[in-house]
């Protein structure tokens, strides 16, 4: 079905990442303006996120991270059919679709934004076995046990991990690792323009009672900025073996 709106990125000299201004024009003449990282509002309009972030700005991270995970699964000798993925910061499920294309089963989708779950179930009801609203830094014992019973062994995070307020905290990533099988793969992205050094290190994993091996680090085109300039990210894949 054709969207009943059109979206345009308004002229801005050099907006802060996430603060890009979008104007939505509806068929009935109404208009609305919102910022790129106003996720609750973005997800509430079916197709808006895809039209702006993927069609206009050419976001490649879901496909990139899924492909990196698929390659890592192959290199360590796992069968792709044995991969059971926890997809965190999953938004409206675009990342889950990319995982399925790589024959990696996205068992659980999760996001801290409640509207993301609504959008994923609305737009992509067949991608995940389950989708939960989850704060990785505040997981109840009951939720933790339920997730451990799913025997998840891969984590995908198509969101920047770092120490600024809009990024997924490193502690959240290491907490997520505790929800996985003792031998697991974890992939995420890091924004070198915001933080030069990736805060996820072997030492951090050791502090989280895990031995870690960095299998791949690749710089790639994440998307384009509204100015037309390329916006690059680093994609990372770790193999994590929990002690004890």
Question: From residue 216, how far is each of 47, 69, 70, 147, 187 by CA, in Å?
Answer: 33, 9, 12, 26, 9
For the chain, the structural domain boundaries read: 5-56, 61-242
| Digit-coded pLDDT (tens) for 25-70 | 999 889 999 999 999 999 999 999 999 999 999 999 999 999 999 9
Asked whether the predicted pLDDT for residue 2 surpasses 60, the reply is: no
| Digit-coded pLDDT (tens) for 119-130 | 999 999 999 999
Strands (E), 124-209: 130-133, 154-160, 183-190
Asked whether the predicted pLDDT for residue 223 surpasses 80, the reply is: yes
Average pLDDT value for residue range 106-126 = 97
**In this structure, which CATH number among 3.90.700.10, 3.40.50.150, 1.10.10.10, 3.40.1550.10 belongs to the domain 61-242?**
3.40.50.150
């Amino acid at each position: 079905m054709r969207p009943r709106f059109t979206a345009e990125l308004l002229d801005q000299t050099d907006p802060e990442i996430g603060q890009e201004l979008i104007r939505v024009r509806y068929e009935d003449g109404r208009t609305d303006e919102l910022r790129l990282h106003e996720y609750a509002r973005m997800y509430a309009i079916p197709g808006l996120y895809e039209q702006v972030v993927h069609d206009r700005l050419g976001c490649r991270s879901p496909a990139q991270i899924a492909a990196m995970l698929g390659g890592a699964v192959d290199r360590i000798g796992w069968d792709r059919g044995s991969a059971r993925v926890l997809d965190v910061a999953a938004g409206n499920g675009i990342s889950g679709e990319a995982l399925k294309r790589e024959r990696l089963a996205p068992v659980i989708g999760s996001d801290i934004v409640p509207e993301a779950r609504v959008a994923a179930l609305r737009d992509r009801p067949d991608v995940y076995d389950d989708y939960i609203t989850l704060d990785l830094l505040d997981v109840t014992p009951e939720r933790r046990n339920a997730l451990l019973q799913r025997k998840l062994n891969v984590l995908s995070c198509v969101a920047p991990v770092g120490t600024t307020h809009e990024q997924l905290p490193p502690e959240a990533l290491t907490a997520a690792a505790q929800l996985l099988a003792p031998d697991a793969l974890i992939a995420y992205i890091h924004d070198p323009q915001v933080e030069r050094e990736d805060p996820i290190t072997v030492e951090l994993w050791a502090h989280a009672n895990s031995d870690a091996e960095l299998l791949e680090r690749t710089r790639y085109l994440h998307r384009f900025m509204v100015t037309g300039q390329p916006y690059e990210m680093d994609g990372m894949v770790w193999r994590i073996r929990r002690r004890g």
